[in-house]
Structure 1
Amino acid sequence: MLVTLNEILPDAANSNYAIPCCNVFGYEEGRAIVEAAEALKSPIILAANKDMVDFMGVEMLAKMLVSLATSSSTKVCVHLDHTYEEDIVFRAMHHGFSSVMFDGSQLSLEENIQRTKQVAQVAHSLGVSVEGEIGSVAYKEGRDHIKSINTSPEDAYRYATESGLDAMAIAIGNVHRLTTPDSVIDYNLLASITDKVTDVPLVIHGTTGIKDEDILRLKTTRVSKFNIGTSLRMAMGSNLRRLMNEEPDKFDKMYFMQKAMPFVRAEAERIIQLLR
């Protein structure tokens, strides 16, 4: 069933579990992830990132992801990930995304608050949830223009209370697109943020780069949503490469994708169980 962040994150923020937000790079991954969530009777978030939006467009992505959500026996949120342009955010809402992220992390605090608030007003009138980011979570590769700025607790408080958002991504040492768990989490900074932000669920991006023991600790705080992309891409890509090398005389894409999908499902199940 299709849901918003507001239907699944508040309880997680006030409990000792969190919800996985899985970046989807095609129907096969999306189906494998939903099957994992159904098997474990867990809510899940399917996210479309900028690369997929550029490749497919929000209309086609919405049709694919919303169909997976509405036909599922578990709660599935269809979420537009980091998006910097309001027109794309509004188009995503129009075409069926149940949640969006307006990323104003590269803007001044005042402009981030103002533009997020405008997005939130439209989104809430349509029953759509909104995520924003304060501070700036850097990328290991692929987004060289993105700054690395730890979240200021004072800025986080203002952003949470003035923007009208429903979930807030923070930067506390996490990094996008790490392939090994090298992030060093600043728990003192997190404590300062959670002391000030008591009503808005928090979000961690760059989960693949975080050690399991840190994830287990973080999920007991107000962090209620963990974004995962790299480990799922690795599960698909590495196994697809291996499988194709093992059978060089076969060329049917569906044959290989069906063989690779169980590895994506297994990784999704591992993540869900880690966050439960």
Structure 2
Amino acid sequence: MSGAGLTGQEELLEKQSTSAGSTRQLIKRFVHHRLALASLIILIVLLIVCFGAPWIAPYPQGMQDLLLGPTTPSAEHWLGTDELGRDYLSEILYAGQISLAIGLSVALLATVVGTALGAVAGFAGGWVGELIMRITDLFLIVPAIALLAVIIQGLGPSPTTIVFALTALGWTYIARVVRAQVLSLREKDFIEAARGIGASNMRIIVSHLLPNLAGVIAVAMSLAVAAAIIAESTLSFLGFGVRPPQTSWGSMLSQAAGYVGTPQVYLLYFPGLFILITVLCVNFIGDGLRDALDPQGKNL
């Protein structure tokens, strides 16, 4: 009798662990989301051309022609040149290395920290959960830009410092979202079944809760990439971000701000366009991943 009951529990766990569908089904769902698929292709191309800039960019980074000065887009310089006569397309590609690296690094670290703390807070509950959430609330009420500026000024405006500062604030949203989802899942039958066969709390979280949160985490991570790129651009525009000789899309915006109202205003448009395209792409990819990884999603 008990053996039959145990078999039923194991079958329930097995069913839940595979509820997100096979790899083939996930790919099919994602591909069906045409906007997400197109965004993924565009983002991959962006990553290739930016990180492959030493081989792809038409001119070396920082190559100047002071006699040329700022010029409008032409066949020789597709996006024109800046005030130092540097090819603007080449500078944007090299700057993209910093912006994309910061965005992806912050998203990965913030997702790991936020998911871990949110899962523990939701599953453990009690004073542990309350303590974690009160710390989260404390981070949320602090003026973000002001705190980021103080941290970066104190530690220096390097990309590593910016990643650390943005991660320190970026995990809070993810933690709250994950905690809310865990609170709704921890009383489900498959969790009770896992407890019934003696699974440890850590195993329940890692093997049974997190797979059912994959869609939520994927969306949260995509939003974190977009938020980190925008935050870095804002900090650089205000003078607290990446500084020469390194450059990012945000710092290029800051340098081009003085050209508003002049024929060279295009120097402001192009970095902003690359930021806009990247942010839109990661958001659409997040939507596609959410639909593909949703355990309750319908087979196509």
Please tell me the TM-score bracket, short chain as reference: under 0.3
More strand by share: 1
Higher radius of gyration, 1 or 2: 2
More relative contact order, 1 or 2 (CA 8 Å, 6+ apart):
2
Q: Name the one with the larger helix percent.
A: 2
